[in-house]
């Protein structure tokens, strides 16, 4: 069958990273990030447009300089459970940390969402970017990269084992024989690994899609390897067409090297389309959005987030960029290292670095509906993504994309005209995982 594009919606309420002025937009409710009706309406609009998934980000550390949306927002699994009862087809993907959760508890919560939604749950596995999170969990320091990613791999393996606790026919519920459970179809996990020791079983059966879909977002070597081993969906960094091609090819190659089918991992790039009646109008609106958000104080604080929420305002803005490499070792190491390298090579000041990371960069997906559709098709054909994780300024921008771009993609056979399935796996074209207790064991089970 021909490849088709997958679309996900990524709502940011009153404004995420770099969206310093979004909360001031009169069309955006000031309580959007904590209003469940906002998310329900976003999900229903995306479902009406036949999107694959609603994606909810999360973090567990803030200070007063963090983006408006981060300061006051709902916990993802609670949010998505409410959304599940108001939707029928759209996937529900929530972010949860493998560093600051226990496998049994998190496996149970995602399995519950999977049942509540009828098989539409997805878990975006993160190892936690914010180093300050450790202090909210009684730890003096954030775990290092190697430990976090080793823990993440084992965490996912344990969760998948727990999700297989019951065989699919474990509950005959035979009233005449008085047999509710066939005990032979219930399996303990008895996992004893480097990071976790968990007996199981989980007190919840498998959902219609077998297990929640595993998503991951990783740029570092450790992140890419984790994705290649366990991810079924990836939120990719994007960048230029060439950068997106390189990332796409690298992940697919790594996936194959672990004995997995590269088609069973769907790569989503970030997209912030700006659609208007003409190309010129869309380009002007994109520039307006940049100016609405271009706040130097906010950009300086955002820069500090890559360095453990470091307060760069204490430094002379026109002095050379300070030596803070050690602050990124356990946080945003990959991006921070590139930034430091550039600052040294070009002898940039702190002000210049802060301005450079937040300078105006034109999105490729800007223009009249046909222009945007053309670009999406070009990137898709060039092997840069399997799907796009879409973020819109407000509901009007979402509607412009849905009413203008989606029909063009459908007419070209690039996007569905109806849902193929009732589960997230089914719509992404992913297989239902075989229960490890009803098939031959593999090395992945150990």
* 3 state DSSP class of 307: coil
Residues in the chain: 446
Q: Are 228 and 368 in contact (CB under 8 A)?
A: no
* 3 state DSSP class of 45: helix
Rounded Cα distance between 121 and 210, Å, is 10
**pLDDT tens-digit map of 365-396:** 999 999 999 999 999 999 999 999 999 999 99
Rounded Cα distance between 121 and 54, Å, is 10
Dihedral-angle region of residue 401 (phi above 0 means left; psi in -120 to 50 means alpha; beta otherwise): alpha
> In this structure, are 91 and 151 located in the same domain?
yes
Q: How confident is the model at residue 331 (pLDDT cuts 50, 70, 90)?
A: low
pLDDT number for residue 237: 85
Task: Measure CA of the first residue to CA of the last residue in the chain; give whole Å.
Answer: 35
pLDDT number for residue 261: 96
> In this structure, are 71 and 148 located in the same domain?
yes
For residues 351 and 337, which has the higher predicted lDDT (pLDDT)? 351
pLDDT number for residue 442: 47
Instruction: Give the pTM.
Output: 0.93
- Residue 275: in which H helix or E strand, if any? strand 274-275
Asked whether the predicted pLDDT for residue 201 surpasses 80, the reply is yes
> In this structure, are 265 and 303 located in the same domain?
no
> In this structure, are 323 and 403 located in the same domain?
no
Asked whether the predicted pLDDT for residue 338 surpasses 90, the reply is no
pLDDT number for residue 332: 64
Select from 308, 337, 357 the last residue of a domain: 357
Asked whether the predicted pLDDT for residue 440 surpasses 60, the reply is no
Least confident of 31-45, 179-193, 335-349, 376-390: 335-349
Burial 205-232 (b: 16+ CB within 10 A, else e): bbbbbbbbbbbbbbbbebbbbbbbbbbb
Rounded Cα distance between 305 and 67, Å, is 11
Asked if residue 115 belongs to a domain, the reply is yes
Asked whether the predicted pLDDT for residue 138 surpasses 70, the reply is yes
> In this structure, are 253 and 380 located in the same domain?
yes
**pLDDT tens-digit map of 11-29:** 999 999 999 999 999 999 9
Select from 357, 378, 396 the last residue of a domain: 357
Q: How many domains does the chain have?
A: 2
pLDDT number for residue 330: 62
Asked whether the predicted pLDDT for residue 244 surpasses 90, the reply is yes
Rounded Cα distance between 372 and 388, Å, is 13
For residues 326 and 283, which has the higher predicted lDDT (pLDDT)? 283
**pLDDT tens-digit map of 258-305:** 999 999 999 999 999 999 999 999 999 999 999 999 999 999 998 888
DSSP code at position 126: E
The proportion of the chain whose per-residue pLDDT surpasses 90, expressed as a percent, equals 80
**Token pair of 408 as six digits:** 């063009």
**Token pair of 15 as six digits:** 């404004």
Rounded Cα distance between 246 and 239, Å, is 10
Average pLDDT over residues 317-331: 81
CATH number, position 230: 3.20.20.30
pLDDT number for residue 446: 46
**Token pair of 149 as six digits:** 């990613």
Asked if residue 384 belongs to a domain, the reply is yes
pLDDT number for residue 328: 67
pLDDT number for residue 181: 97
Asked whether the predicted pLDDT for residue 439 surpasses 80, the reply is no
**pLDDT tens-digit map of 80-96:** 999 999 999 999 999 99
Asked whether the predicted pLDDT for residue 443 surpasses 50, the reply is no
- Whole domain around residue 18: which residue ranges? 6-279+362-445
Average pLDDT over residues 65-82: 96
Give the number of other CB atoms < 10 A from CB of residue 30.
Answer: 14
| Of residues 28, 76, 34, 35, the one with CA closest to residue 55 | 76
> In this structure, are 349 and 392 located in the same domain?
no
For residues 172 and 357, which has the higher predicted lDDT (pLDDT)? 172
> In this structure, are 31 and 13 located in the same domain?
yes
> In this structure, are 344 and 232 located in the same domain?
no
Select from 341, 357, 373 the last residue of a domain: 357
**pLDDT tens-digit map of 178-191:** 999 999 999 999 99
């Amino acid at each position: 069958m021909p490849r088709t594009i997958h679309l996900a919606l990524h709502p940011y309420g009153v404004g995420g990273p770099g969206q310093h002025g979004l909360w001031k937009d009169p069309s955006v409710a000031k309580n959007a990030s904590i209003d469940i009706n906002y998310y329900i309406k976003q999900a229903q609009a995306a479902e009406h447009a036949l999107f694959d998934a609603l994606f909810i980000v999360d973090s567990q550390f803030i200070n007063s300089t963090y983006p408006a949306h981060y300061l006051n927002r709902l916990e993802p699994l609670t949010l998505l459970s409410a959304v599940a009862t108001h939707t029928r087809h759209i996937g529900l993907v929530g972010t949860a940390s493998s560093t600051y959760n226990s496998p049994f508890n998190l496996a149970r919560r995602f399995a519950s969402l999977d049942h509540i939604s009828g098989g539409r749950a997805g878990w975006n596995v993160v190892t936690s970017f914010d180093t300050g999170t450790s202090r909210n969990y009684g730890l003096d320091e954030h775990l290092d990269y190697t430990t976090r990613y080793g823990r993440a791999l084992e965490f996912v393996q344990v969760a998948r084992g727990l999700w297989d606790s019951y065989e699919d026919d474990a509950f005959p519920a035979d009233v005449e024989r008085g047999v509710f459970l066939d005990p032979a179809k219930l399996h303990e996990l008895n996992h004893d690994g480097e990071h976790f020791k968990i007996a199981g079983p989980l007190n919840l059966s498998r959902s219609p899609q077998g297990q929640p879909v595993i998503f991951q977002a990783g740029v570092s070597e450790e992140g890419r390897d984790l994705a290649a081993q366990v991810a079924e969906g990836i939120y990719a960094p994007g960048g230029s067409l060439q950068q997106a091609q390189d990332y796409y090819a690298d992940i697919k190659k790594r996936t194959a090297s672990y004995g997995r089918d590269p088609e069973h991992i769907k790569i989503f790039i970030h997209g912030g389309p700006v659609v208007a009646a003409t190309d010129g109008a869309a380009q002007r609106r994109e520039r307006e959005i940049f100016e609405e958000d271009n706040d130097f104080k906010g950009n300086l604080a955002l820069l500090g987030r890559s360095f453990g929420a470091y307060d760069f305002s204490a430094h002379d803005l026109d002095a050379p960029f300070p030596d803070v490499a050690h602050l990124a070792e356990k946080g945003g190491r990959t991006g921070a290292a590139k930034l430091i390298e550039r600052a040294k090579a070009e002898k940039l000041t702190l002000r210049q670095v802060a301005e450079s990371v937040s300078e105006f960069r034109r999105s490729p997906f800007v223009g009249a509906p046909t222009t945007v559709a053309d670009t999406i098709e070009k990137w898709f054909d060039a092997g840069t993504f399997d799907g796009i994780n879409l973020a819109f300024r407000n509901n009007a921008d979402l509607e412009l994309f849905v009413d203008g771009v989606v029909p063009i993609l459908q007419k070209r056979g690039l996007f569905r005209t109806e849902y193929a399935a009732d589960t997230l796996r089914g719509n992404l074209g992913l297989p239902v995982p075989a229960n490890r207790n009803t098939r031959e064991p593999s090395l992945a089970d150990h």
